[in-house]
Structure 1
Amino acid sequence: MLVLAAGDEFVGTELLVGAVRAEVAEAEFARLSSRWPVEPFGPVGGVQEASGTEEQVIEALGGAEVAVTQMAPFTKTVFAAAPRLRMVSVSRGGPVNVDLTAATEAGVAVTFAPGRNAAAAAEFAVGLILAAMRRIPTASAELLGGQWRGDYYAYANAGLELEGSTVGLVGYGAIGSRVARVLLAFGAHVLVADPFADPARIAADGAELVELDELLRRSPVVSLHARLTEQTRHLVDAEKLALLPEGAVLVNSARGGLLDYAPLAGMLRSGRLGALALDVYDVEPPPADWALRDAPNVIATPHLAGCSRQTAERAARIVAAEVGRYARGEKLLNVANPDVLR
């Protein structure tokens, strides 16, 4: 079986090769590497968040039966040029770099890697919450810049503890539920808003399920963990933001589209919002004239929440396991286009 391993500088080509070889010892490999994330991804041939070109993928595929990748574009043009291809296994939480309609028409199963970065993203979210509540990045930058802010010890400026605080989590999937368990261990009271979550599971975990409006009214700290769909776009808009308690801390490390960014700078300057921690944005990267660039009490990181070495290794193992199932004739677990199996 010939396998195309199309890696990048995060989930590397040789990492993919090693993982697949551990599952299918007799596999042979073609190789392709892209420069992501050193070079940004973008739309390619009708698919989103892809790295490299259709021509590069077609040339590398040759007669490959299986492809494993994170970012390579698998478009209608690619599928038309690869008649022997039968499976594409994508090492991401969603195969946005694959044209699923074209894959199904071509008889190609497309699998993905749910939960690959859940641990990394949950840990990062908790880090942002702590950093925002205690002003850790701001205080560090000021000290390194030669300013000793003793006034931070004044009661009016003092930070907040997680123990005894109410934290609202919008979304309770693989990441949100992990965040909840960590916060509960800190002694926080956790509210959850998620119409698709299992109420019994939330209660068993020690959290409280409420409607979104109630969560926003009751939570001095709010962290977003919902999936981005047409229904959840701008889920937290200006009207919802107005429900937050005075001086609340807001964290978004999920998807930029969940949050309406327009009111945030004004809310921070007025003190209506106490701190804001972001890892995702409505436009990535934010433009030079971004309104939040000079707003007070902002923490901003460049979409790093899911980035850890363990995430890359886990992603490679997940896609390789699907290749192993395919090679053994077993049922594939995480198929994005299940119609192709019928």
Structure 2
Amino acid sequence: MTERSEGIESATPMSHPSGHMTTRLLAAGDHFVLNRLLIDAVRAQAPGADLEFAEITLDWPLVPFGRVAEVDEASGTEDQMIEALGDAEICLTQMAPLTRRVIEACPRLKLIGIGRGGPVNANLEAAAEHGVTVCYAPGRNAGATAEHTLGMILAAARRIPQTHAELTADRWRSDYYRYDEVGIELAGSTVGLVGGGAVGHRVAQMLAALGARVLIHDPYLTETAVGELVSLDDLLSRADVVTLHARVTPETKGMIGAPQLAAMRPGAIIVNCARGALLDYEAVCDAIEGGHLFGAAFDVFPEEPIPAESRLLTTPGIVLTPHLAGASRQTAANAARILAEDVARHLRGEPLVNVAKP
């Protein structure tokens, strides 16, 4: 059911003495990007605007997201959103399914704000056909994902999860001190980044600060402030650690398979906190079990949740987290702030900055 913000009594647009109409907004938050973050951010960015908020709280992440009609990674139902939107002009959300049916049922809707790095849960074609602008929040989780990536590199290189598990099972494994069992230090090592965007750039800065040599492969970059731009083949042959930071496109899907893993240095580590479709995970398991790779660390997977029969759960030397790299309080606040900045531009009649195109 739709809940009204404190002090809101009616869903009907209200006229003010100035002649301005109140702008109605729906905050369709969840248990990560909270409604109060969205509402407070909009009020901070548009302090003089006449605003009326309605609220609905979606179940994510308590209930996994999924496909709803024609959109991906959504939480909630079309009927739920149609009822909640009513005659709202603006919808702010992270996970709500903004499908063609929802958009067509809400003719007053003018702006959709998706508080994530890609608006996969909105039908951009339907929005464009009905004059609805869709904005999103690129870079919202760049800092969190970069820090998580660094933690995953260290966890895999120093076997932190494995040795913790041994201790909690009452096993003191001093044999991990054998030369062929110990990992590397980042200082003096070479780390290769596949992708040098917002996340990759931050990872490069952190690694350089720790004394690592940084290589970057990104066909869209012509220069970099940190590290050395190289070909993918050069990166794979030189890096002690390879970490993926590319988006999934027809060109990058499956870009790291068995041949690329075989081209990596013996004893190297591969890390993926970007997208599962970039990498052949079966080939990684083969490379670790065969002794070619030292280990791996993954936050994203080809199928989520990981199937119970997956080799990822039993292959030694692999560190796993459940798609949490971007999960920080700052990420949620950033998402709300980035959307609120474009809402304020919309209210002032100015061009928006983060507009998603069909």
**TM-score normalized with structure 2 length:** 0.92
Provide the rounded CA distance (Å) in 1 between the counterparts of 2:149 and 2:221.
Answer: 19
1:296 aligned partner: 316
Q: How many Å apart are 1:268 and its aligned residue?
A: 1.2
Post-superposition Cα deviations, 1:131-159, rounded to whole Å, max 9, x if no partner, equal 11111111111112111111122222222
2:222 aligned partner: 198
Identity among equivalent pairs (%): 54
Provide the rounded CA distance (Å) in 2 between the counterparts of 1:335 and 1:183.
Answer: 32
Provide the rounded CA distance (Å) in 1 between the counterparts of 2:160 and 2:339.
Answer: 38
1:123 aligned partner: 147
Tell me which structure has the larger Cα radius of gyration.
Answer: 2
Q: How many Å apart are 1:77 and its aligned residue?
A: 0.5
2:245 aligned partner: 225
Partner SS, residue 88 of structure 1: strand
Give the helix-richer structure, 1 or 2.
1
Alignment of 1:140-151 (within 5 A): 140-151=164-175
1:253 aligned partner: 273
The two structures, once aligned, show a CA RMSD in angstroms of: 1.0
Provide the rounded CA distance (Å) in 2 between the counterparts of 1:85 and 1:263.
Answer: 47
Provide the rounded CA distance (Å) in 1 between the counterparts of 2:197 and 2:37.
Answer: 28
Partner SS, residue 342 of structure 2: helix
Q: How many Å apart are 1:198 and its aligned residue?
A: 2.9
Partner SS, residue 108 of structure 2: coil
Q: How many Å apart are 1:290 and its aligned residue?
A: 0.2
Instruction: Verify: 1:13 aligned to 2:35, yes or no.
Output: yes
Q: How many Å apart are 1:197 and its aligned residue?
A: 1.4
Provide the rounded CA distance (Å) in 2 between the counterparts of 1:262 and 1:137.
Answer: 21
2:303 aligned partner: 283
Specify every segment of 5 or more residues in structure 1 that has no aligned partner in the other structure, as ranges.
none
Equivalent position amino acid for 2:346 in 1: Y
Instruction: Verify: 1:166 aligned to 2:190, yes or no.
Output: yes
Partner SS, residue 282 of structure 2: coil
Provide the rounded CA distance (Å) in 1 between the counterparts of 2:287 and 2:336.
Answer: 42
Instruction: Verify: 1:156 aligned to 2:176, yes or no.
Output: no
Provide the rounded CA distance (Å) in 2 between the counterparts of 1:233 and 1:337.
Answer: 22
Q: How many Å apart are 1:23 and its aligned residue?
A: 2.4
Post-superposition Cα deviations, 1:62-105, rounded to whole Å, max 9, x if no partner, equal 11011110000111101111111000011000110000000000
Partner SS, residue 40 of structure 1: coil
Q: How many Å apart are 1:24 and its aligned residue?
A: 3.0
1:312 aligned partner: 332
Post-superposition Cα deviations, 1:232-282, rounded to whole Å, max 9, x if no partner, equal 000101111110111111100110000011212221112111101000001
Alignment of 1:1-342 (within 5 A): 1-25=23-47, 26-199=50-223, 202=224, 204-205=225-226, 207-337=227-357
Partner SS, residue 249 of structure 2: coil
Post-superposition Cα deviations, 1:212-238, rounded to whole Å, max 9, x if no partner, equal 011001111110001111210001011
Q: How many residues align?
A: 334
**TM-score normalized with structure 1 length:** 0.96
